[in-house]
Amino acid sequence: MNVEVRDLSLRYGEVTALDRLSFELAEGKIYGLLGRNGSGKTSLMSVLAAFRKQTAGAVRVGGRPVWENAAVTSQVCLIRDTGETVDLGTAGDALYFAEWLRPHWDARLAKELMTLFGLKPKVNVTSMSKGQRSAMGVVVGLASRAPLTMFDESYLGMDAPSRQAFYDVLLADYMEHPRTIILSTHLIEEVSPLFEEVVIIDEGRLVVHEERERLLDRGNAVTGPAAAVDAFVGGLTVLGEKVLGPTKSAMVYGEFDDAHRRKAAEAGLDLGPIAMQDLFIHLTGGPK
Ligand SMILES: Nc1ncnc2c1ncn2[C@@H]1O[C@H](COP(=O)(O)OP(=O)(O)OP(=O)(O)O)[C@@H](O)[C@H]1O
């Protein structure tokens, strides 16, 4: 399902969490939603899932407003960082409830994922560890196959092998059953290979909405003899530097054209990509 957000604002009393946000997400892609702590990611996803009503502006999912619209909300699944929202009863009860609620539910996938993450249907959700609860959320989020599926840092409590299993299953299932998926995360380097497009917000406002590859084009790592690197990057926006013996690597913000590339080659310098995390830190104003 596509998503249209127009001049969206959300206020909690005096606090403005979303500030006239506008963007459109096409159907059937995986989006990364990035932002500093308190930038408005959870607030935005809560409005998209109709958990909260916006203060102003419009939100349409699949061309229709989401608020108090059961026909749309049954197609939208938001899994929050606390894992699955159903805290009463066993894991089996949570799956039963999700199946009842979710029109595209795949019980076979749910069962496979329960086994993959070592979850037992008879165990009470409240007695699960943090990572197990996160994994429960992931099971429900994936098996729901909702046309708009959002994971709000839901996999944060999971250990590294479980997170990797989640990324692998998400990608494989998305290839077979394309849908719109939004992943919010602070583990930028780990999760960003999954993104097709990236939305960055800061203080409730849109900073960037771009294809992942285009965003990465905004930065370059310049590596070579320290003196040559210093001469090359003079006057450019340098985000950081690393020195290893006589070799230096400088991360530069800004796209390079053919002239830059020629000059770098003549100076014996290598140009390479920089990490999305470094671009993110720069675009959201550096350390605060
Ligand atoms: N229930 C609430 N009542 C009052 N203020 C809130 C509430 N929920 C969020 N806020 C405020 O709204 C702003 C956006 O919060 P939000 O949780 O959407 O950010 P976030 O990007 O998800 O942050 P994080 O990365 O830390 O989870 C923050 O200033 C936060 O303090």
The pLDDT of residue 86: 60
* pLDDT greater than 60 at residue 13: yes
The pLDDT of residue 88: 72
In order of start, what are the domains of the chain with their CATH numbers? 3-211 (3.40.50.300), 217-283 (3.30.70)
The pLDDT of residue 139: 95
| Residue 157 Cβ contacting ligand 1 at under 6 Å | no
Tell which one of 9, 11, 15, 36 to mutate to probe ligand 1, the residue whose CB is within 8 A of the most ligand atoms.
15
Q: In this predicted model, what pLDDT tens digit does every residue of 195-221 receive, in sequence order?
A: 999 999 999 999 999 999 999 999 999
The pLDDT of residue 81: 74
In the structure encoding, which two tokens stand for residue 187, read together? 């583990």
Tell which one of 36, 43, 81 to mutate to probe ligand 1, the residue whose CB is within 8 A of the most ligand atoms.
43
* pLDDT greater than 60 at residue 84: no
The Å distance, Cα 17 to ligand 1 centre, comes to: 6
The span from the CA of 201 to the CA of 44, in Å, is 10
> Is 266 buried (19+), middle (13-18) or exposed (0-12) by CB count in 10 A?
exposed
| Residues recorded for the chain | 288
| Residue 187 Cβ contacting ligand 1 at under 6 Å | no
Q: In this predicted model, what pLDDT tens digit does every residue of 220-231 receive, in sequence order?
A: 999 999 999 999
Q: Provide the 8-state DSSP code for 156.
A: T
The pLDDT of residue 156: 82
The pLDDT of residue 70: 92
β-pairing verdict for 64-65 and 15-25: unpaired
- The per-residue pLDDT of the chain, averaged, comes to 93
Which is more confidently placed, 287 or 79?
79
β-pairing verdict for 237-244 and 247-253: antiparallel
In the structure encoding, which two tokens stand for residue 49, read together? 């899932």
Check: CB of residue 280 under 8 Å from CB of residue 239: no
The pLDDT of residue 288: 59
Which range scores top for mean pLDDT: 80-84, 99-103, 181-185, 283-287? 181-185
Q: Kindly indicate the confidence band of residue 123, based on its pLDDT and cuts at 50, 70 and 90.
A: very high
The Å distance, Cα 47 to ligand 1 centre, comes to: 13
* pLDDT greater than 90 at residue 157: no
Q: What is the mean pLDDT of residues 142-159?
A: 93
The pLDDT of residue 90: 92
Q: Whose CA is nearest to atom 11 of ligand 1?
A: 17
To the question of pTM greater than 0.90 for the whole model, the response is yes
* pLDDT greater than 60 at residue 131: yes
The span from the CA of 264 to the CA of 21, in Å, is 39
Ligand 1 atom with the smallest distance to the CA of 44 is 18
* Beta carbons within 8 Å of 141's beta carbon, 6+ residues apart: 77, 79, 149, 151, 154
Q: Kindly indicate the confidence band of residue 287, based on its pLDDT and cuts at 50, 70 and 90.
A: low
Q: Which ipTM value was assigned to this complex?
A: 0.98
| Residue 185 Cβ contacting ligand 1 at under 6 Å | no
Which is more confidently placed, 157 or 143?
143
β-pairing verdict for 30-34 and 180-184: parallel
The pLDDT of residue 173: 97
The pLDDT of residue 248: 95
